[in-house]
Amino acid sequence: MSAPRASRWEQPQAAREVRRARRRSALLRLAWAAGLVTAMGFVIWRQTVGADRMRELEKVREEIAVAEAERAELQTRMLTLGRRERVVRYARERLGMHVARDEEIVLLAVPASAVRPDSSATDSAAGEGS
């Protein structure tokens, strides 16, 4: 006994169902492929942006290192130029100055009305910070 044959009206419908199933399967594969390509594109984009930002960060770090080295060099130079021995030598050689002798020093009295009570604290603090 053989399997019952489909009628000639049922055969085209069966073929149509098979085509629909194949088409759905192909569309599903295509959707998966598109999703995979999109995900990979996103990963590549993110990696590229990350690499660019890393290069920018390294550039800024290098600039900071150069600025800090320059700052240290300028501080050293400032300390060297501000040393008392150098200032005294410069004043003596270039400006013709000398360290005052006792008889050249004159102390002036400041009247009490010229001194404010709170000015002594701020003057001494300002003098220490300079």
For the chain, the structural domain boundaries read 10-118
What pLDDT does 6 receive?
Answer: 62
More confident residue, 111 or 36: 36
What pLDDT does 112 receive?
Answer: 83
Contacts of 86 (CB under 8 A, 6+ apart): 80
Rounded (10°) CA dihedral 23, 26, 30, 31? 60
24 and 18 Cβ atoms separated by less than 8 Å: no
Rounded to 5 degrees, what are φ and ψ at 26? -65, -40
**Mean pLDDT of the region 67-81:** 96
pTM: 0.48
